[in-house]
Chains A and B, each alone.
Chain A
């Protein structure tokens, strides 16, 4: 296969396993490109991309912007904090105004789940979902799987545990879809208050004991506790959370195997993982960041190739 089955990347839910493999193979080439002395290719020189961030982001926005620039696309940036959204403009009006400036692709982060799907049904441009509320964050899941594939050779058959705040995490949901699609075994671990009630319908087991979960897994993806999305208290204190669900060196050393530690960032050092773990060889956190650019280049390149001239 040499073409994606979709015109937008709205979520992992909407793509196929073959799409993931195509994105990975393309990302392999781009990873080589971004390690050259000159890290830029001219493919998208006639494509304009708008990065619309209706919600705060640092690394995802930088990663997308760098990916777009490495492909020679023209880039415009928009963040809700400085825009007319504050004056009451609707999403479609905002986006249509931007599209009138002849934009071919929109990368959007939005606090509302389904914002990307809604937009794709109402405007003429390729949409890349860069996170919609607590729903999906497909490029993060792709770069996570890509990093597992890079470290362990394959994703299929691997045991992956996602630890922490599953309830508020779009990273968790996209990762679950992506890992299942590639044939990995997935468990989640965290305070039961932060695990969605119907997680079982996704075919996912809950392992409330962190030690058992780590003993079972090849890879542990440590999520951040998303305090900003919590309207009520889901656990008694940060200290108690860390005691039960934080990973430190002593815990890793007590396992009878070496597991891979991932984190989508930003890390709360000393909460979900300690510094000595985050900075150890077992952690591939910075590889994830590097791979993020290659994966986003691949996604943008493949979607752009479907925009007819």
Chain B
């Protein structure tokens, strides 16, 4: 197994600030916007962006939720490993609001497809956008593309993108791992 650094802590820092600014550009005061982290890994990115928007850019009243897509996945009973659910926490209705899905890596697009179905249980959003830190090019199974992307990478199927966060692993760093 070999791994190389895709993004360093410094690069991640700059990208997060850029993504935050792009969000502000489109959503201004976030009055009618909700941020939804896709469980399990999108939660950390969503938390980080929400904190950045609040602390560094003075955006108040950010609505942040976490959406678990386990029960909406299309590979139930099809994989080797049983699916494990995570907590969904959306304490508001998304009816008529602008939803931004936040996930760390966009790969086949199937998780986002599931999220698009799942979010409808909380109302009919006015629109849905997708923000992703790493966009794996040429690997989509579905016609799904991000509206905000941190970095686009070319990776072959056996390679894996590993995103590590300071709050869990002690350091912000993204690796490309070859199994």
Contacts and interface: CB of A to CB of B under 8 A. Distances in A.
Query: Would you list the 10 A-B pairs with minimal beta carbon distance, nearest first?
Result: A41-B71, A38-B121, A29-B85, A3-B82, A2-B82, A43-B71, A309-B77, A2-B84, A36-B121, A43-B76
A42 B122 contact: no
B77 A304 contact: yes
A266 interface: no
A197 interface: no
Interface in A31-67: 32-33, 36-44, 46
B77 A40 contact: no
Nearest to B81: A2
Contacts of B70: 29
Contact of A37 (B72, B77, B118, B121): B121
A29 B121 contact: no
A42 B87 contact: no
A26 B118 CA distance: 17
10 contacts: A3-B82, A29-B87, A33-B71, A38-B120, A38-B122, A41-B72, A42-B117, A43-B73, A304-B76, A307-B77
A43 B68 CA distance: 13
Contact of B68 (A29, A38, A301, A309): A29
B84 A37 contact: no
Q: How large is the interface on A (under 10, 10 to 19, 20 to 34, 35 or more residues)?
A: 20 to 34
- The secondary structure that dominates the B interface is loop
Nearest to A29: B85
A292 to B, nearest CB: 19
B71 A37 contact: no
B68 to A, nearest CB: 7
Given A3-B82, A305-B83, A40 B121 contact: yes
B83 to A, nearest CB: 7
B71 A42 contact: yes
Contacts of B87: 28-29, 32
Interface of B: 68, 70-73, 76-78, 81-88, 93, 117-118, 120-123
Contacts of B85: 25-26, 29
Contact of A29 (B76, B88, B93, B122): B88
A87 interface: no
A28 B88 CA distance: 10
Nearest to B117: A42
A307 to B, nearest CB: 6
Contacts of B121: 33, 36-41
Contacts of A281: none
A308 interface: yes
Nearest to B94: A37
B93 A37 contact: yes
A4 to B, nearest CB: 9
Contacts of B78: 309
Contacts of B81: 2
A37 B82 contact: no
